[in-house]
A and B are shown apart, each in its own frame.
Chain A
């Protein structure tokens, strides 16, 4: 027996009607969540600015070339704006960000924003397809295996499931990519080895990216499904004696989505980062190849721009996940406020 706090009167803030706009839990949640996004973006941009400041050596010298004469280095320094005080540079960096001016690539002399705009679509394509595939597959499979093995039923299935997802889960995306290339492109010649052309060229990069995450997330979804199935409200639903489709679809799934999405936000972030590795294997013309080249070529403005791009993409996905979350389950928004 436990004495849990319950209020006897009409609960306060019932949906927030007839209250000030800032008292509406939805609005206040969105405000807070938006604030968090803004702060995170601020941190991201500031850190990427700081990144270049912390690099040992002289960016102007690197940009002008090792052998360049001192005047040329100074001229370059002025061009890059590196002769100004750091705080001015910082503010200019922000100003540039809002006007879409992220500076210019040292090696190619192209505006960074143009490089990102031309290469980002390829990255976004495989990232978003893989994210969608991962979410759909792991929620379906996780729920299925959760239902099959609930209450310690079917231990054999559980062993198989745990083993398979355990092994697949440790295979990192770059290894999955290499293995897939070897078997399906080199050996069986079913799909292109590399590059971005027709539909078939998408299969391997997307699968390589999604495989490990799907295995990991499916395990989590199953654990969450078992957790939801233990809840009292599922017992209530079972006491009503409904068919499994309604039980799992209507009573279990919404609650499962809540907890799964909460957890998966982080995983999706690391999938976005995983594109860097996968793109390098499949010579995919996205930003993943570009960032590695630009680090090795010490092309710092480009590195900066790409890091901001990836970082904001991750933050944006997290934001979307959270907004989807409160539309599915309004309680989350209220609990936090």
Chain B
């Protein structure tokens, strides 16, 4: 496993006939092993749709989505299990945990799902409890938080647990969809530092979707710019930020407010 996720001329369209809307328009892009690839663009540009297609929340209309040479688009059965090596962290900390289940139960679900994916025996409850504790520790939260309900956590803490849930599934690739845009700027750093640290330790690849260029500049190795469903520019983060090629990228960078 090399943790590479590649989109090959992936398109996603909604609707039929005259009211067809192309959300993603033959996108070719690859997340190389162990890198953090930034994906920027305005809302409605197709960033989230692309990510959702990779995990099967949306079906791509055409193209291939390769996870280490396995096409996981329209995956069923064994391939669908393989696809679970791609995990996703969502934008809204209000809705990313079942309000009726404790943090521990939510993390436990991920552990069980990971064992089932790898067709290994599901470890006994006691072992899983310890794993939940160590997951919480990995995201700098006390083990007692397993007993808490999501409502008792702050938005930043919840996003950290969301990262923990993603890594509980021992992923090859994590798709981070605007994971800090609903958070206050003061806690944003704690979540992003955590993601970067874990990525460095565990070696998974990250697709980091954000509309905030300043954040992307700090977090990402490379960056891709999307507009109206198409990727219009890809490159090393600093290169793109300092000498953007596409007009739209220039406009985007010019619009970033400075302190």
Contact = CB atoms under 8 A, between A and B. Distances in A.
| Contact, chains A and B (beta carbon distance below 8 A) | yes
Interface of A: 1-8, 20, 22-23, 28, 337
A335 to B, nearest CB: 12
A5 B43 contact: yes
Contacts of B43: 3-7
Interface of B: 17-19, 42-44, 91-92, 178, 181-182, 211
B182 A1 contact: yes
Contacts of A28: 18-19
Contacts of A22: 17-18
Given A1-B182, A2-B182, A7 B18 contact: no
Contact of B42 (A1, A8, A20, A23): A8
Contacts, number: 26
Contacts of B91: 3
Contact of B19 (A1, A4, A337): A337
Contact of B18 (A5, A6, A20): A20
Q: Taking chain A's interface residues, is the majority helix, strand, or loop, or is none over half, making it mixed?
A: loop
Contacts of B211: 3
Given A3-B91, A5-B44, 13 more contacts: A2-B92, A2-B182, A4-B43, A5-B43, A6-B43, A6-B44, A7-B43, A7-B44, A22-B17, A22-B18, A23-B18, A23-B19, A337-B19
B12 to A, nearest CB: 15
B214 to A, nearest CB: 15
A8 B227 CA distance: 11
Nearest to B91: A3
Q: Which of B18, B91, B92 gathers the greatest number of chain A CB atoms within 10 Å?
A: B18
Q: Which of B19, B182, B211 gathers the greatest number of chain A CB atoms within 10 Å?
A: B19
A12 to B, nearest CB: 8
A44 B191 CA distance: 57
Nearest to A25: B19
Q: Which of A2, A3, A28, A337 gathers the greatest number of chain B CB atoms within 10 Å?
A: A3
B44 A3 contact: no
